[in-house]
């Protein structure tokens, strides 16, 4: 059996083995409430704050104490669960998955000479049911396994056509392999957090829980989604609502589509509020530009279905039959 | 369509369905699929379950549909409304249609029919020379070149499926669509679960859509020959290399040209390669995982020809092999300004005249709107 040490758990604190490790140390929640452990609570809080700002919490595993890395993750979950705010949990999961992603990549890379890829490949296989194998310098996975994940990325280089494909297999670098499972890693961590039950917390945690609640007020989730929107537009709005990143082309689609439906820049701008890189001024500036009310005054048109399809932004349903631009959605009758 | 035409066509269809049970079968896993059919002058009946060949034959005899369809998807409850069907997976399907291939021959066999006076002309005009109306319907008639070109697309598709995507030859079925193209069905468990988005990207791969110069070794600056694809490579990189260099001896010269040409010139080259080497399928068909697709062995009401599996694609002649309606003579009023070829016989052109034709040819003209029953 594969031996997973505390150093591995500091990197991947979401593994089930982490729970067992803790159990063996005999530490419980009550003890963590002791002032001696306050630095861990602060560290945990910091971890969440960093995550919610869209940054990745870095830890230097060489100098830092592995136990405190692991514990601060657990305490962070307790804080998050007590605060009970979905947006924060989502952002935390996302950021933690990016952090783990770095280590996975390193492990895949470093282990390559040592011929010891067991842990990273096991994590990928056990958690996400993807079989990754090695071919010379590359990692390879099956085309369907690739597609299932890569379609969520909108950069052109992730399109299958821009990959090396042979015999039903896609060739990837260590970095790409790990990047591919990022979202699932986030979901997995999110799921782990959801499954945790917290009844009561030590008094020393309370202040930080309250701080989290006020932190969360900065992100509000209110967008109006009409059922009349075409699937591509709905998808874009959903992505933004989740606080996930929508590529430029997706934002452009939303802006041009909604403008063409008579919405104003002021009505549209709040839509982008949840984006990890939101900035009110630039957003307004860009929207003004697209709407033609600034700059050269050209009003940009909504991109065609063909264009969107090539950017993996099309989610056609039968109601899309016979249209060539999302603005036609719902207008033209389906041809038989 | 007028009643008399419907009667004539339906009787011909019924005769075929009655006589050729041997050609008409439900596909594998039939009980998990949704069936549907259409009758002339009426809407689509969907969400049907047809368990076996016997039930299918019964339905065909009873309803005499104009068109019959079956889902490529598998469901737990194929007869429930879409939201409750419980989608389980779907065959990969591809539709190659000559009308999407932008072939130069198209203009030679497209007939424009005036929407108000029914006058037929062979050139596109802004107004009907007879009544001045500006509304035309088009009909395209059988053309050998269209079929030859469509076959080339099928061959390209099969090559990519087998070499790049690891689909086995036995998992690929090729059908003449019953009108002007081909349908390809792939049954491979790996690809079955793919949803619409995933199929869209797969189709882009097959069409060579969205390829960027970087993937083929050309960056915006500092290019060197080391990243360019080579002859022996697999997948699109190898295909692109073989196209660009055409022969090994030309590699050094072409390499210099490519590097000197830079990014945007290379982009243009990739666009060109897409046009000639990308497979021209209809992406929406492959993406649609809830579609009901024409059933093999059934008649296509756009032509009266049958959707038929091609055992040997190269030699397959749809105007002979898929033209399976009866050949006893019937009289119709034909208005077909071009000659058509079916069953190795030539018919027309006819200018609004009563002619006596074998049933398959008469039905063909009626289906194309180029004649009327009398
Ligand atoms: S077909 Fe057009 S409207 Fe429909 S989802 Fe795709 S891009 Fe949007
Ligand atoms: Zn007319
Ligand atoms: Zn032709």
What DSSP string runs through B24-71?
--PPTTGGGS-EEEE-TTS-EEEEE---SHHHHHHHHHHH--SEEEEE
Give the span between the Cα atoms of B236 and B219, in whole angstroms.
Answer: 18
Specify whether the CB–CB gap between B289 and B218 falls below 8 A.
no
Distance CA A98, CA A233 (A): 27
CA–CA separation, A330 and B159 (whole Å):
38
pLDDT for the residue numbered A270: 80
Bridge partners, residue B140, by sequence: B110
Residues surrounding ion ligand 2 at CB below 5 Å: B 114, 117, 119, 128, 130-131, 133
The whole-angstrom separation of Cα B47 and Cα B44 is: 10
CB of B187 closer than 8 Å to CB of B167: no
| Nearest-CA distance A291 → chain B (Å) | 27
Q: Considering only CA atoms, which residue is closest to atom 6 of ligand 1?
A: A314
| Cβ pair B35, B292 in contact under 8 A | yes
Q: What is the C-alpha separation between B234 and B159, in angstroms, rounded?
A: 12
Contact B205 A148 (CB under 8 A): no
Residues in A touching B193 (Cβ below 8 Å): 144
Residues of chain A with pLDDT under 50: 221-224, 332-336
Provide the pLDDT for residue A60: 62
Which residue in B has a C-alpha nearest to residue A305's C-alpha?
A: B284
Q: Whole-angstrom Cα distance, residue A14 to residue A92?
A: 12
B222 is catalytic: no
Nearest listed ligand to the Cα of residue B284: 1
- Backbone conformation region of residue A261, classed left if phi is above 0, alpha if psi is from -120 to 50, else beta: alpha
Interface contact A159-B210, CB threshold 8 A:
yes
Q: What are phi and psi of B73, to 5 degrees?
A: -90, 155
Is A143:A165 a contact under the CB 8 Å cutoff?
yes
Q: Tell me what pLDDT residue A114 has.
A: 56
Whole-model pTM?
Answer: 0.79
B194 chain-A contacts, CB cut-off 8 A: 144, 147-148
Query: In this structure, what token pair is assigned to residue A9?
Result: 């758990």
pLDDT at A66 (0 to 100):
74
Cα(B286) to centroid(ligand 3), Å: 24
Residue B121 contacts A where some CB pair is shorter than 8 Å: no
Best residue in A157, A160, A334 for a mutation probing chain B (most B CBs within 10 Å): A160
Chain A contacts of B201, Cβ < 8 Å?
147, 150-151, 159-160, 312
At a CB cut-off of 8 Å and minimum separation 6, what does A223 contact?
Answer: A237, A240, A241, A270, A271
- Return the number of CB contacts < 8 Å for A and B: 103
Under 8 Å CB-to-CB from B213, ≥6 apart: which residues?
A: B219, B263, B266, B267, B270
Q: How far is CA B309 from the centre of its chain?
A: 13
- Ligand 1 pocket residue status of A303, Cβ below 6 Å: no
Cβ contact, residue pair A162, B201, below 8 Å: no
Report, as ranges of residue numbers, the positions in chain B whose pLDDT lies below 70.
none
Q: Domain boundaries in chain A?
A: 1-110+184-220, 231-328
Judged by a CB distance cut-off of 8 A, whether residue B26 touches chain A is no
Cα B332 from chain centre: 29
Annotated catalytic residue B164: no
Residues in chain A with CB shorter than 8 Å from the CB of B208 are 161
Nearest C-alpha in B relative to A154: B201
Give the separation between CA A133 and CA A44, rounded to whole angstroms.
36
**B215, A161: Cβ pair inside 8 Å?**
yes
Residue B234, pLDDT score: 93
Ligand nearest the Cα of residue A328 is: 1
Contacts of B293 in chain A (CB under 8 A): none
Tokens 């059919």 belong to residue: B37
- CA–CA dist B374, B362 (Å, integer): 11
Q: What percent of chain A is modeled with pLDDT above 90?
A: 16
Query: Which residue reads 């020809």 in tokens?
Result: B305
Tell me which chain B residue has its CA closest to the CA of residue A310.
B210
Residues 6+ apart with CB under 8 A from B367: B9, B301, B302, B303, B304
Beta bridge partners of B114: B136
Q: Quick check: helix, strand or coil at residue B95?
A: strand
Residue B80 tokens read as 């429930």
Residue B223 Cα, ligand 1 centroid: separation in angstroms?
Answer: 37
Find out whether B336 and B370 touch, Cβ atoms under 8 Å. yes
CATH of domain B3-101+142-205+283-373: 3.90.920.10
Nearest CA in chain A to B216: A162
**How far is Cα B160 from Cα B166, in angstroms, rounded to an integer?**
9
Residue B370 CB neighbours (<10 A): 24
For chain B, give every domain's residue range: 3-101+142-205+283-373, 209-277
Q: How far is B362 from chain A (nearest CA, A)?
A: 25
Q: What is the ipTM of this complex?
A: 0.93
CB–CB contact B214 A309 (8 Å): no
- Closest partner residue to B191 (CB to CB) among A144, A309, A314 is A144
Cβ(B206)–Cβ(B175) below 8 Å: no
Q: Say yes or no for a CB contact (<8 Å) between B215 and A168.
A: no
Evaluate whether B160 touches A168 at the Cβ level (below 8 Å).
Answer: no
CA B57 to each of CA B20, B25, B44, B297, B325: distance values in angstroms, whole numbers, following the listed order: 10, 8, 19, 11, 17
Q: Are the C-beta atoms of A132 and A171 separated by less than 8 Å?
A: no
Using alpha carbons, select from A299, A94, A314, A317 the residue that is nearest to residue A193: A94
Structure tokens of B103? Answer: 């072939």
Pick the ligand that lies closest to the CA of residue A235.
1
| Nearest residue, CB atoms, A142 vs list B44, B190, B211 | B190
Half-sphere exposure of B369 (CA within 13 A, CB side): 18
Three-state secondary structure of B144-208: HHHHHHHHHHHHHHHHHHHHCCCCCHHHEEEEECCCCEEEEEECCCCCCCCCHHHHHHHHHHHHC
Tell me whether B219 touches chain A (CB under 8 Å): no
Chain length of chain B: 374
State the Cα angle at B44 between B41 and B50, rounded to 5°. 125
| Three-point CA angle B2, B3, B7, nearest 5° | 125
- Beta-carbon contacts of B242 under 8 Å, excluding residues fewer than 6 positions away, are B231
Mark the residues whose beta carbon lies below 5 A from ion ligand 3. Answer: B 105, 143, 145-146
pLDDT in tens, A182-231: 878 888 888 888 888 887 888 888 889 888 888 877 665 444 455 678 98
Contacts of A165 in chain B (CB under 8 A): 164-165, 205, 234-236
**Predicted pLDDT of residue A335:** 38
CA distance B44 to B35: 11
Beta-bridge partners for B308: B176
Answer whether the bond into residue B233 is a cis peptide, omega within 30°: no
Is residue A185 a contact partner of residue A100, using CB atoms and an 8 Å limit?
yes
Of the residues B67, B95, B288, B335, only one is catalytic, namely B95
pLDDT of residue A219: 62
- Bridge partner residues of B353 (DSSP): B334
With a 6 Å cutoff on the Cβ, whether A327 touches ligand 1 is no
């Amino acid at each position: 059996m594969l031996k997973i040490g505390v150093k591995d758990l500091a990197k991947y604190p979401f593994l089930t083995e982490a729970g067992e490790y803790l159990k063996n140390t005999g530490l419980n929640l009550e003890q963590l409430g002791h002032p001696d452990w306050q630095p861990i609570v602060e560290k945990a809080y910091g971890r969440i704050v960093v995550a919610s700002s869209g940054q990745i919490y870095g830890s230097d595993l060489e100098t830092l104490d592995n136990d405190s890395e692991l514990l601060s993750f657990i305490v962070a979950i307790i804080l998050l669960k007590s605060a009970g705010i979905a947006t924060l949990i989502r952002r935390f999961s996302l950021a933690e998955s990016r952090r783990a992603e770095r280590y996975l990549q390193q492990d895949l890379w470093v282990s390559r000479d040592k011929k010891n890829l067991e842990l990273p490949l096991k994590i990928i296989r056990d958690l996400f049911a993807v079989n990754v194998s090695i071919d010379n310098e590359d990692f390879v996975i099956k085309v369907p396994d690739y597609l299932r994940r890569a379609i969520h990325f909108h950069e052109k280089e992730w399109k299958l056509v821009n990959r090396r494909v042979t015999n039903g297999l896609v060739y990837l670098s260590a970095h790409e392999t790990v990047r591919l499972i990022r979202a699932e890693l986030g979901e997995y961590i999110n799921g782990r957090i959801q499954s945790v039950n917290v009844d009561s917390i030590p008094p020393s945690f309370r202040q930080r829980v309250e701080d989290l609640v006020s932190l969360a007020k900065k992100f509000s989730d209110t967008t109006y989604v009409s059922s009349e929107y075409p699937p591509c537009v709905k998808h874009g709005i959903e992505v933004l609502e989740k606080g996930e990143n929508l590529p430029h082309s997706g934002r452009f689609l939303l802006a041009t589509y909604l403008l063409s439906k008579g919405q104003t820049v002021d009505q549209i701008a709040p839509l982008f509020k949840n984006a990890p890189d939101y900035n009110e001024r630039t957003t307004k500036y860009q929207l003004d530009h697209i709407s033609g009310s600034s700059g050269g005054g050209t009003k940009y048109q909504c991109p065609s279905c063909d264009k969107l399809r090539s950017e993996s932004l099309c989610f056609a349903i039968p109601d899309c039959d016979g249209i060539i631009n999302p603005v036609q959605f719902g207008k033209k009758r389906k041809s038989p | 369509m007028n009643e008399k035409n419907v009667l004539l066509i339906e009787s011909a269809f019924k005769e075929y369905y009655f006589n050729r049970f041997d050609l008409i079968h439900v596909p594998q896993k039939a009980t998990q699929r949704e069936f549907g059919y259409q009758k002339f002058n009426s809407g689509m009946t969907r969400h049907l379950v047809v368990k076996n060949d016997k039930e299918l034959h019964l339905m065909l005899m009873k309803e005499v549909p104009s068109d019959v369809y079956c889902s490529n998807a598998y469901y737990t409850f194929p007869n429930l409304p879409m939201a409750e069907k419980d989608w389980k997976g779907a065959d990969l399907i591809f539709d190659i249609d000559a009308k999407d291939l932008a072939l130069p021959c198209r203009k030679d066999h497209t007939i424009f029919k005036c929407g108000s006076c029914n006058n037929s002309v062979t050139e596109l005009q802004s107004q009907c020379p007879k009544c001045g109306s500006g509304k035309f319907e088009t009909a395209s008639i059988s053309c050998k070149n269209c079929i030859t070109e469509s076959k080339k697309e099928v061959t390209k598709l099969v090559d990519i499926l087998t070499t790049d995507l690891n689909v086995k030859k036995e998992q690929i079925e090729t059908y003449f669509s019953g009108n002007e193209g081909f349908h390809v069905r792939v049954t491979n468990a790996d690809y079955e679960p793919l949803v619409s988005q995933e199929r869209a990207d797969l189709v882009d791969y097959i069409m060579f859509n969205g390829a960027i110069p970087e993937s083929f070794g050309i960056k915006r600056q500092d290019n060197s020959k080391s990243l360019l694809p080579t002859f022996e490579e697999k997948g699109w990189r190898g295909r692109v290399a073989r196209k660009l260099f055409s022969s090994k001896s030309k590699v050094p010269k072409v390499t210099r040209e490519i590097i000197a040409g830079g990014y945007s010139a290379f982009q243009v080259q990739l666009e060109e390669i897409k046009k000639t080497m990308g497979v021209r399928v209809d992406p929406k068909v492959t993406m649609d995982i809830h579609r009901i697709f024409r059933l093999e062995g059934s008649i296509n009401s756009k032509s009266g020809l049958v959707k038929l599996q091609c055992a040997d694609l190269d030699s397959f002649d749809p105007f002979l092999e898929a033209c399976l309606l009866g050949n006893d003579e019937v009289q119709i009023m034909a208005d077909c300004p071009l000659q058509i070829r079916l069953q190795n016989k030539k018919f027309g052109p006819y200018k609004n005249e009563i002619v006596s034709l074998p049933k398959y040819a008469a039905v063909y003209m009626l289906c194309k709107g180029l004649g009327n029953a009398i």
